[in-house]
Amino acid sequence: MSGVKITDTILRDAHQSLIATRMRTEDMLPIADKLDRVGFHSLEVWGGATFDSCLRFLNEDPWGRLRALRKAFKNTKLQMLLRGQNLLGYKHYSDDVVEMFVKKSIENGIDIIRIFDALNDPRNIRKSIEATKKHGGHAQAAISYTTSPVHNNEYYINLSVEMEKMGADSICIKDMSGILMPYEAEKLVKGLKENVSVPIQIHSHFTSGIANQTYMKAIEAGADIIDTAISPLGMGTSQPATESMIASLQGSPYYPDIDMDLLLEITDYFKELRDKYVEEGLLNNKVLNVDVRTLKYQIPGGMLSNLVSQLNSQGALDKFDEVLEEVPKVREDLGYPPLVTPMSQMVGTTAVFNVLLGERYKMIPTETKNYVKGLYGKPAVPIKEEIRKKIIGDEKVFTGRPADLMDPELHRMRNEIKEYIEQDEDVLTYALFPQVAIDFFKYRQAERYKIDTDLLNEEFKTYPV
């Protein structure tokens, strides 16, 4: 066989995991040529939290970033992460918004779209898969990996078979918490290879310290592609380090076709960049530590930091261990949802409320109520009647596809922001993050006016006084 292929996450998940998604486009472009020539199968560069962070914290147009990266990468496929019907936001969007978002993502430079649903509800990824294929992209369907009495290999194999029937061009095992154990990975990959015909990719986080071993067993079992992160922003709550993972495959038939000399030059660049992030206070050493509690509580690194932040804001950090114990209880009550966005936020916030108020389900976040009402999709296990009544009383549970409740939205949204529109993509930006988008559009206009005024003043200086 040929060597295993590598998707590097340095330009998306690596910095999302370690420096809160704060890498700027200006830090990416100087190293793009070398990244493009090193031999990666793909680079994950967009999606996830990058869209929100560009607007909210960096005053960047995420669509402009994507176009700049596409122009810089002549040879390497560009990849993004999409939350199915949630797109890059935290709620469901209408089908016309999903269709246009996928279309524009591909038009602006994305080759591969990794599509997942927090509940593994196939109804929530169908539209994204259809749109990706319709507009010429590679649709990678992702399993949100978790463990529970019902989440076993048979469950994941059946899900993958359904994904392939829906048109998935490849399947990713998305282990967001770093809890996929090496020998379980071996069994799962073997099962998938026996039941589906598309390539299998493995994505894990180093949070619990076992992802390297998991990757090795998965590769030996037939995994085609693995996700890694160049070492200055690898390990910890990020992915296994690219260089170490490749080196560990030397002398095997799995060794990838990567230019290691060039890769080490890239490593040096990101070492300097990492030093800058440390100076700016963006890199906290806590995210670099192995946290074995992940194996017990299944809590991803980002969720752990969010719990700390919530408790800190309430002056209740001493309740942290109590909240950790409460998270798996809430998760069981809610039908064992995988702890990935937006379910991780719902379960975590509900657990915090339960602990701080001293009474379970006394106060319920609106999103959790909507989930129990069926507005996010179908849980793997039906929610027990007594829990449902505690959370939503006698309200009816919707059992259909959540997006079917939504009318087309693009026309209305276009009218709402017509004074700000400079590109078709602006409507999508507004659809995902309305208030943040408006603030960005105002900033963009102000900056353009400032630039034009400066140019005008410069012209006046050419006239004699």
The pTM for the full model equals 0.93
Fold classified for 5-285: TIM Barrel (3.20.20)
User: How sure is the predictor about 300, in pLDDT bands with cuts at 50, 70 and 90?
Assistant: confident
Q: Of 116-120, 164-168, 192-196, 340-344, where does mean pLDDT reach its minimum?
A: 340-344
Report the percent of the chain where pLDDT is more than 90. Answer: 85
**Angle in degrees, CA 265, 271, 272, rounded to 5:** 100
33-73 tens-digit pLDDT: 999 999 999 999 999 999 999 999 999 999 999 999 999 99
User: How sure is the predictor about 450, in pLDDT bands with cuts at 50, 70 and 90?
Assistant: confident
Query: What is the per-residue pLDDT for 452?
Result: 58
246-272 tens-digit pLDDT: 999 999 999 999 999 999 999 999 999
Token pair belonging to 120: 């593994």
Torsion of CA 417, 419, 424, 429, to 10 degrees: -40
- CATH homologous superfamily of domain 299-400? Conserved carboxylase domain (1.10.472.90)
Distance CA 330, CA 432 (A): 28
Query: What is the per-residue pLDDT for 309?
Result: 76
For the chain, the C-alpha Rg in angstroms (whole number) is 23
Phi, psi of 227 (to 5 degrees): -100, 125
316-330 tens-digit pLDDT: 989 999 999 999 999
Mean of all residue pLDDT scores within the chain: 93
133-146 tens-digit pLDDT: 999 999 999 999 99
157-211 tens-digit pLDDT: 999 999 999 999 999 999 999 999 999 999 999 999 999 999 999 999 999 999 9
Distance CA 121, CA 139 (A): 16
* Domain range list for the chain: 5-285, 299-400, 405-455
**One-letter amino acid of 318:** D
Token pair belonging to 12: 């998306």
408-424 tens-digit pLDDT: 999 999 999 999 999 99
Report the percent of the chain where pLDDT is more than 70. Answer: 96
Residue of 45, 109, 49 whose CA lies nearest to 80: 45
